[in-house]
Amino acid sequence: MMNRAWRRAMVRRTLLWVWAMATVALVACIGFLARELMREGTDPLAIMRPKSDRAPVGTEPAGSPTPTGNKEVALYFADAEGRALAPESARIESSDSTVENCRKALEALIHGPRDILTPILPSSTRIRGMYMLDGGELVVDLSMEFTHELKKVRSVSLESLMVYGVVDTLANDALRGGKEGRVTRVRFLIEGSVPRESFPAHLDLSGPIEPDSRWVAGNGA
């Protein structure tokens, strides 16, 4: 009887040990996968979020854009006091693709102004994706760096200058190409997901944002 009970106890201990080791190995694998995803700039939790939080279905323009020469566009930065938006003229390599023109304009906006104006985006911000939906809605997927500055200073004015500086820049008719129409509104994604909860603190980015010239100096800002 004692031998049988001893054997049963040993079997249970062995099974518990195997289960514990398998759990440790699984946790280690999940941790390794999460680190690799973050290293590639992907949010590990994005794949677990509801489908409604993920990027809307859309495609970037097929084929290579055809260059159409340099074009002068207006980039909207904050003014020297950081109270309103002010345009700065810039020349970009234009093409027949609205999306590619907007990508170049946004890259220039991230790079920052030449003179006395104030940047509205962290220079480390990355453009993860960009494409057009029906009705002129441009979807812009940005990296998490887009939110870092707002987490430091929670201000409705700072958030508005950042958001409308991007939207007013991309809605510029000078960026319109032959393949797609003009941008009428911009939908923001952060790491592939709709911004929610704590970001931003004062603006609702769960839907597309239309341009608003009232934030431009001299237009009511």
102-114, pLDDT tens digit by residue?
Answer: 999 999 999 999 8
- Whether residue 130 contacts residue 107, with contact meaning beta carbons closer than 8 Å, is answered with no
Whether 61 maps to a domain, the answer reads: no
pLDDT score for 64: 72
Whether 25 maps to a domain, the answer reads: yes
57-87, pLDDT tens digit by residue?
Answer: 444 445 677 766 788 999 999 998 888 999 9
Whether 140 maps to a domain, the answer reads: yes
The residue assigned the tokens 């991309």 is: 170
Residues 32 and 73 in one domain: no
pLDDT score for 168: 96
Residues 96 and 195 in one domain: yes
| Sequence-ordered list of residues with C-beta below 8 angstroms from that of 133, at least 6 positions apart, any chain | 56, 58, 139, 187
Residue 54's pLDDT band, with cuts at 50, 70 and 90, is very low
Whether 49 maps to a domain, the answer reads: no
Residues 89 and 169 in one domain: yes
> Mean pLDDT over all residues of the chain?
79
Structure tokens at 74: 């207006």
d(CA 89, CA 73): 6
Q: Express the helix, strand and coil content of the chain in percent, nearest 5 each.
A: 40, 20, 40
Residues 209 and 138 in one domain: yes
Higher pLDDT pick, 148 / 93: 93
Structural domain that includes position 24: 2-40
The reported pTM is 0.69
